[in-house]
Amino acid sequence: MALTPEEQEKEVYIDALVEDMDSLIRQYEGMLNAIDVTGVLLSRVTLLCTTHTEIGKGLVRYVWEKLDEIEQANPGGMIE
């Protein structure tokens, strides 16, 4: 199914956002541990849950379900 022009434009912005975030994270490699970067990203999810509750809850639910799928596929493997 082809994307509408509006959907294509949105995809371009999303790709740019992801690229910018990845670039920003790379700037702090060596200065911060992965756990610190993860904490910062999680704090933004927490903010999203506060400002846009349903979207934030949906994101957390999605991540939880994906983590559960990983664990079910490889019990005791990746998630300890």
How much is the pTM? 0.64
Task: Tell me how far the alpha carbon of residue 49 is from its chain's centroid.
Answer: 13
pLDDT recorded at residue 28: 93
CA pair distance 23, 14, nearest whole angstrom = 14
pLDDT recorded at residue 74: 83
The residue to which tokens 């992965």 are assigned = 34
pLDDT per position as a tens digit, 29-51: 899 998 999 899 999 989 988 99
Q: How confident is the model at residue 78 (pLDDT cuts 50, 70, 90)?
A: low
Query: What's the mean pLDDT in 5-19?
Result: 95
Nearest alpha carbon to residue 36 among 46, 45, 25, 47: 25
